Structure 1
Amino acid sequence: MVINRMHLLDLELFNYQITFIYNLLKELYRASILDKLGNRLANIPRFPELKIFKNGIQSLFRIIANKYHNLMKVMIFVLDNLDISKALNKMLLNLYEV
């Protein structure tokens, strides 16, 4: 069996980004900002080939690799204009854009 190393590296890096940002926002802005993130994730309209997280941010730590690709598609929109400092918001958006 041949393993796609880039696929695994991308998912591990993305998992680290999600975990890091979750912990950073929780430390700086408490649980209320995480509730807002969760609501934004849960309220994304459904599309046939886009699996969305009905339980919001809480379900991020129990997902499989396939769902990370769906999360990659929407995370920049979830973070856009979040109620955090403009400088931090800009850095996070740049991170996900790159």
Structure 2
Amino acid sequence: MEERNRKFRIGSVYYESSMLEPKDDYSQEQHEEIVALVGKWSSFDFDKTDAYIYFDDLEKELVPSVLTPADRKRFIDYLKKEIEVVNE
């Protein structure tokens, strides 16, 4: 497998199913932004050789910016259960 610059990884399928966690109400536009980010990682940008998403910064890369503080915390806690540290 090629050398990676990423420090963390998470399974793309796990990440995709993680969007069942937000509980607060969002406008249609906010919902579309959330779905677009999750769809980007779960469908296109994961590593095709092993189906993981490799990333450096959880909040900047995988957490939709429109989430409320409560949903943001729940979402991050949920994702951290499956994050693996790589390249240590």
Q: Give TM-score, length-normalised by structure 2.
A: 0.43
The structure that is helix-richer by fraction is: 1
Larger-gyration structure (1/2): 1
Normalising by structure 1, we get a TM-score of 0.40
Question: Which structure ranks higher in relative contact order (CA pairs < 8 Å, sequence separation ≥ 6)?
Answer: 2
Q: Which has the higher strand share?
A: 2
